[in-house]
Amino acid sequence: MDIKRVFEIIAKEYPIAKKQKLKNHPLTKFIRTEVPKSFREDLGETISKYKVMVAKHAGNWSRVAWIVISDTGVTESAARGYYPVYSFLKRKKNNVIIRSRIQGYKN
């Protein structure tokens, strides 16, 4: 599945899904498996030195879904380093995808 379609699915379904139980929800599996897979398939060798990370949802839905693309030479986790992040938000009646550059810091 291409990246564009994966983004469309997350943007459309995440606001609805996070009102439901997290445990065994099909969207969590989709995000954890399809997001990294689609980046690898669409970008091939270009993405090989990068790590694709997604929100892990430790027991509860995250307020927003996010995807991080990290250069493993610069950062290994969302808590340290800097990286681009795609955030999926619900704003009034629209689903929005925001691309930002973030600097993570954990003491």
Give the pLDDT band (50/70/90) at residue 40.
very high
Q: Look-up: residue for tokens 């699915």?
A: 9
- What span, in angstroms and rounded, lies between the C-alpha atoms of 47 and 86? 16
Output DSSP code: residue 63.
S
Residue (of 90, 106, 87, 107) closest to 98 by Cα position: 87
pLDDT at 58 over 80: no
- Element at 69 (helix H, strand E): strand 65-71
Residue (of 57, 79, 63, 69) closest to 99 by Cα position: 69
Token output for 90: 């619900």
Token output for 17: 């899904």
- What span, in angstroms and rounded, lies between the C-alpha atoms of 68 and 4? 16
Region 57-76: mean pLDDT is 85
pLDDT at 103 over 90: no
Average pLDDT, the chain: 88
pTM: 0.84
- What span, in angstroms and rounded, lies between the C-alpha atoms of 66 and 63? 10
